[in-house]
Amino acid sequence: MKSQKLFSTLLAVILFAFASNSFAQTTTTVVTTPSKTYVVTKEAYPQWSVAPSGGIVFPIMELSNSFKANGIFGLEAGAKVNKEVGFYLRGNYMFMNSSASGGAIGKYIEITAGPRYYFSSINVKSQLFADAGIGPYIFSQASYQPGDPTAAVVPEINETKLGVNAGIGASLYLSPNMNLMLRTKYNTVFTSTTTKSFITASTGLEFKF
């Protein structure tokens, strides 16, 4: 419950911050020559954005022994400082069904930030990108009684660990103020004894300001 409230608060703060600030994405200059008048449009930076998204999380390696694939949803705030370079802050809420009989759902909250590099091309408004992030991953799982009634009750788990991620994606142009975002990321969470890894694939709309 506490982790869900934290995630909700993070999303509210991001939305408030970006709803309170509006930045022009282009500047228009009129150039007049003796024979003709030209209108020159140039992108202005920084460009700010918010992107709600949803998708699937796939536990892999050791984590796949305990959990199955399930859903992910979240919100990202971004700042693009030029045509190729940007930075983001992302909050994701993930839930994974337990592989154990009678097991409780495992939940991850990710709060990460990092740089993003856009691969640009002349006269192409859509862009591919690669990014990486670091931050806390908050895991929670309620206590449960295994399917075997003679087995001991599995205690509740609540822990926060450092994690990193890296991935690729595409920002597909829809309009001057909106893109379709597609991305996949490899996530690794560090614990005292091992690492837990999973892959996320998500899509959403990016609203630019």
Domains assigned to the chain = 2-208 (2.40.160.20)
**Alpha helix positions (H), the chain:** 2-19
Residue with token string 């150039």: 31
- Mean local confidence (pLDDT), 14-18: 48
pLDDT digits (tens, 9 = 90+) for 71-118: 999 999 999 999 999 999 999 999 999 988 778 899 999 999 999 999
pTM for this entry: 0.78
Q: What is the rounded CA–CA span in Å between residue 73 and residue 18?
A: 19
Residue 149 has pLDDT above 80, yes or no: no
* Residues ≥6 apart with Cβ < 8 Å to 45: 80, 81, 82
DSSP assignment, residue 144?
A: B
Residue 198 has pLDDT above 90, yes or no: yes
Strand partners, 178: 175, 207
Q: Which pLDDT band holds residue 2 (cuts at 50, 70, 90)?
A: low
Q: Which pLDDT band holds residue 133 (cuts at 50, 70, 90)?
A: very high
Instruction: Please spell the DSSP secondary structure of 36-63, one letter per residue.
Output: -EEEEEEE-S-EEEEEEEEEEEEEEGGG
Q: Are 132 and 105 in contact (CB under 8 A)?
A: no
Residue 12 has pLDDT above 80, yes or no: no
